[in-house]
């Protein structure tokens, strides 16, 4: 028992409560008595009691640590849920930022083609803003209606499980209409000018505009077709390919 309290007063050992100390003392004393009855050697029994006391200390500390494991697991789950929520919000609202950047570049090109007239810039900006409002509203509805599920095995399954809306491509239809209008305006003036005077700049505007619109059209067609089938819906909408 004296060895028990000496161990408890050691600075290298964390302080124990009275119940833990009493439990440790009883275990060491009972093992020490049984050891002397069987072996008869005091030195051997003292060494045996020392090892038993150290093992008991490890068990007591392990019990205390187990009390904090549920808290630790809950904190990790909250962090994973927060990370999934940030990823989902970036997935939703990041597409809005991408649309604004792409529309700004296309508007700047068309504004330069139409000789930087103010009415052209105002009409293009208002038209794109009018077509972007339905897209933003639909994306907000998807964000509010999203249901993030808890990952049952984060060490084995990567990513953030969530329910997928089969109509997730609908918010991207208004921007596609806007890009179609911008594509027509991009190639109309260069084609009209190239009939009279063919310049390398006008040829590049026609080629680049056609290539960009072809990629956008094929991508949107792939998303629409893939979203309509249950087997490919999660692959198309969960891969991050939609906003890009």
Tens digits of per-residue pLDDT, 79-131?
A: 556 677 777 777 777 777 887 888 888 888 888 888 888 888 899 889 888 88
Does residue 207 contact residue 138 with C-beta atoms inside 8 Å?
no
H/E segment holding residue 9: none
Rounded to an integer, what distance in angstroms lies between the CA atom of residue 4 and that of residue 6?
5
Please give the residue that has the higher pLDDT: either 74 or 241.
Answer: 241
Rounded to an integer, what distance in angstroms lies between the CA atom of residue 40 and that of residue 213?
94
The model's pTM is 0.54
Three-class SS state of 154: coil
Does residue 242 contact residue 216 with C-beta atoms inside 8 Å?
no
Rounded to an integer, what distance in angstroms lies between the CA atom of residue 19 and that of residue 26?
11
Nearest to 114 by CA among 212, 59, 193: 193
Rounded to an integer, what distance in angstroms lies between the CA atom of residue 101 and that of residue 96?
9
- Give the pLDDT of residue 171: 79
Average pLDDT taken over every residue of the chain: 68
- Give the pLDDT of residue 16: 46
Nearest to 185 by CA among 209, 212, 219, 208: 209
């Amino acid at each position: 028992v004296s060895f028990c309290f000496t161990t408890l007063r050691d600075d290298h050992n964390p302080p124990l409560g009275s119940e833990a100390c009493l439990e440790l003392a009883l275990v060491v004393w009972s093992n020490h008595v049984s050891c002397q009855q069987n072996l008869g050697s005091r030195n051997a029994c003292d060494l045996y009691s020392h090892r038993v006391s150290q093992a008991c200390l490890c068990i007591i500390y392990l019990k205390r640590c187990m009390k904090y494991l549920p808290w630790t697991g809950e904190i990790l789950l909250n962090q994973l849920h927060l990370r999934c929520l940030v990823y989902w919000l970036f997935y939703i609202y990041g597409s809005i930022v991408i649309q604004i950047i792409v529309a700004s570049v296309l508007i700047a090109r068309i504004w330069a083609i139409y000789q930087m007239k103010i009415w052209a810039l105002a009409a293009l900006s208002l038209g794109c803003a009018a077509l972007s409002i339905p897209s933003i509203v639909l994306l907000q509805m998807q964000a509010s209606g999203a249901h993030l599920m808890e990952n049952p095995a984060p060490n084995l399954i990567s990513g953030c499980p969530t329910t997928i809306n089969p109509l997730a491509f609908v918010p991207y239809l208004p921007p596609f209409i806007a890009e179609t209008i911008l594509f027509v305006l991009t190639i109309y003036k260069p084609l009209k000018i190239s009939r009279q005077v063919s310049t390398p700049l006008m040829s590049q505007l026609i080629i680049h505009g056609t290539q960009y619109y072809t990629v956008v059209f094929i991508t949107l067609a792939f998303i629409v077709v893939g979203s309509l089938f249950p087997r490919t819906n999660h692959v198309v909408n969960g891969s991050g390919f939609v906003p890009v």
